[in-house]
Chains A and B, each alone.
Chain A
Amino acid sequence: MLAALLFLGLPSMLLAQTDCLSCHADKTMQDAAGHSVGVDADTFHASIHGSLSCTDCHTSIKQYPHPDKLTPVKCAACHADQATGLGGSVHASVSAQPCTSCHGDAHSIFPKTDARSAVYPLNIPRTCGTCHSDPALAKKYGLQNVYSVYMDSIHGYAVSKEGLLVAANCMSCHGSHHILSHKDPQSPTFKTNIPNTCGTCHGGVMAEYASGVHGKAVAGGNLAAPVCSDCHTAHAILQPTLADFRMQSTPICGSCHKGRFATYQDTFHSQLGLLGGYVETARCWDCHGAHNILPESDPNSPVNPANLIKTCGRCHADANASFVKYQPHANPRNRKLNPPLFYTRFFMNLLLWSVLGFFSLHTLLWFIRAKREQGKAGPAEEEKHD
């Protein structure tokens, strides 16, 4: 009390926290516009900015009493790099208080390594999700509503269920302050940058990918070739051994490899796989490999003729040289590529339609005749028998 009186007597002195808090510790305190101006002293002291004076940020306050209307706090005064990054990002124009949208209440900001921080790795999805789970917002900016699919993904699961700090959260792929559209070549989510972005964690896979046909094609500037997210999707990434992923990814390969997909669909591998249950029949990558797909001519390719017994043998224990002559992409409709198969199908169809054709006609005529006979002779015959 004495201290307070003392300071009150010195209006021109710069003010210490305690001076401000003598009023602002009242958590119900509001300004003229109805915004809360109360500060939780304990939280603030514990926060990363707890050692600063109020006036370090609220620079327009020079003395007490201070004016009603203050100039907005400029975080950029200290955090210049972050501010610059944000300025050029997709979030540049989003909010009047861009920093607190993500970092939370200015008086309770914690370092990102602190579990209380809004940008602590395990909290990031929820923080971004405050806006990015809003369908109206997603529609307004033409975005996909990604929050819920991310939370159901293998990364989301690792964050929310396993609490893995190293699991990919939004920031791991998109960055933090300088977030760019995936259409921007500088963005870590731009198509050609995606392998490196994912490779930050998945280094081994990235190296394999780079040595495969898809990696080489993308590196050579062919943007039609797939990167990680084309097969695994960006946000809804599933555990690749899950039946759902095994089911969903084959049509993804097929969206480019249309001819191969069509012939695959004619096979037992595909027919059984489509019926659900446990999907253990061969899908594309079971034979071709996933990340380091190599052309058939490459001796290291699992579909190179020399490796087929081993490749097929992973499912078919007794695979032998003749067995692997089976063509997993044979096309019975193509006479030039698969003559024996073409003629087999041709003969079977001929048999099918000639038998059915003859007997359909036969049965139809018989039916009509018998019906007519029944109508005519029926009563007469009955009389005869009685």
Chain B
Amino acid sequence: MTDETSNVPAEQPEGQPRANDQPQAGGKEKYYVRFTLAQRYLHVVLFSSFLGLAATGLPMRFSDNTTARFFARMVGGFGAILFFHKFCAVVLTLAFLYHLKDIFTRSVVHREKGIFWGPTSMVPNWKDVQDVIGHLRWFVGMGPKPQFERYAYWEKFDYWAVFWGMIVIGFSGYAMWFAPFFARFLPGWALNAVLVIHGEEALLAILFIFSIHFVNTHLRPDSFPMDMVIFTGKETDEEFRKKRTLEYERLAAQGKLEARIGDKPVYWWENFARVVGFTAILIGLLLLVLTLIGYFGTA
């Protein structure tokens, strides 16, 4: 999700598996690398801190809700809640800064191509607009299914939603944390506005991630029950061809496909990732239910 773009040469690294191995290509399925180890870890840090922020932020937002109060009391009252919230916020901020630094290094220092434009970029382009329309038409049986490049439009939206969300929620959050300092350059009413902005944007993030992102990425029939690629970094030849046909074909045409081959993910790693991933999804769904109860119960 946080992955700005990673083009072909950068896709190799990752320590454990050896990349080019023809023996495997024979009988069993081939695996292709999609995410680097660092990107996968970033996703884990991102969702862990996000779950922490949601779990501690929701009780504050819906503080007249009994479940919220019960939970707050369990962890030691609002002092503890606020501490955890700020702690997770700092972790997420660091992850965000790391990501910005990563983009900077890759684009400016290493002069990597395709970060800000082209088929591998996270930046939306005209094809994404066509894809939205084409996809919607396909949903209702009015056209063929569009084929996607490295990042489909909903994945780009996920990325930018989080990117924008972190700036907006982060800025408004720090404005409240250090209100007297921010008051030096913000008008008085902004101190009122930041709580509204923080709360509403966070609500959007929570509802979006725990419903739309979960379904689009993990729970939809093609990936059900969880798309493991963000944990293992690799996907099967079939998945790659089906989900990202255009990227697959482009790489094949450029003769770069072989360079992307990786080992089959190790069992323990995949199983461990499943446990972590499902835990995260379950916590997320629980928070989603509580959010809806809080929102519609007290509206």
Contacts and interface: CB of A to CB of B under 8 A. Distances in A.
Interface of A: 265, 267-268, 270-279, 281, 316-320, 322-327, 330, 332, 338, 340-341, 344-345, 348-349, 351-352, 355-356, 359-360, 362-363, 365-371, 373-374, 385
B25 interface: no
B79 A348 contact: no
A32 to B, nearest CB: 64
Interface in B185-221: 186-193, 195-197, 200-201, 203-204, 207-208, 211-212, 215-216, 220-221
Nearest to A359: B212
B186 A322 contact: yes
Given A325-B187, A365-B140, A369-B139, A273 B180 contact: no
B138 A369 contact: yes
B19 interface: no
A297 B220 CA distance: 61
A76 B110 CA distance: 107
Interface stretch (B35-43, B66-74, B88-96): B66-74
Interface in B5-30: none
B250 to A, nearest CB: 22
Contacts of A319: 180
B187 A322 contact: yes
17 contacts: A267-B195, A271-B63, A272-B82, A274-B63, A275-B73, A276-B78, A277-B79, A317-B180, A323-B191, A325-B189, A332-B192, A338-B192, A348-B197, A359-B154, A363-B212, A365-B136, A366-B220
Nearest to B181: A318
B81 A275 contact: yes
Interface in B26-69: 59-61, 63-64, 68-69
Given A359-B154, A365-B136, 5 more contacts: A271-B63, A275-B60, A341-B196, A345-B200, A363-B220
B188 A348 contact: no
A356 B188 contact: no
B220 A273 contact: no
B136 A362 contact: yes
B201 A348 contact: yes
Contacts of B76: 277
Contacts of B180: 316-320, 323
Nearest to A319: B180
Contacts of B78: 272-273, 275-277, 279, 281
A322 B200 contact: no
Given A327-B192, A344-B196, A366 B63 contact: no
**Taking chain B's interface residues, is the majority helix, strand, or loop, or is none over half, making it mixed?**
helix
Interface residues of B, number: 55
A244 to B, nearest CB: 13
B188 A325 contact: yes
Select the residue from B61, B82, B191 with max chain A CB neighbours within 10 A.
Answer: B191
B215 A276 contact: no
Given A322-B183, A351-B204, A270 B63 contact: yes
A274 to B, nearest CB: 4
A90 to B, nearest CB: 41
A348 B200 contact: yes
Contacts of B184: 320, 322
Contacts of B204: 348, 351-352, 355-356
Given A324-B188, A356-B212, A367-B221, A272 B207 contact: no
B258 interface: no
Contact of B77 (A275, A323, A355, A367): A275
Contacts of B275: none
B64 A274 contact: yes
Contacts of A316: 179-180
A173 B92 CA distance: 58
Interface in B151-204: 154, 161, 176, 179-181, 183-184, 186-193, 195-197, 200-201, 203-204
A280 to B, nearest CB: 8
Contacts of A341: 189, 192-193, 196
Nearest to A312: B180
Contacts of A366: 135, 139, 216, 220
A133 B228 CA distance: 67
Contact of A340 (B80, B189, B211): B189
Given A322-B184, A326-B192, A275 B69 contact: yes
Contacts of A373: 221
Contacts of B61: 271
Contacts of B72: 275-277
A267 to B, nearest CB: 7
B214 to A, nearest CB: 9
Select the residue from A277, A317, A338 with max chain B CB neighbours within 10 A.
Answer: A277
B294 to A, nearest CB: 12
B222 interface: yes
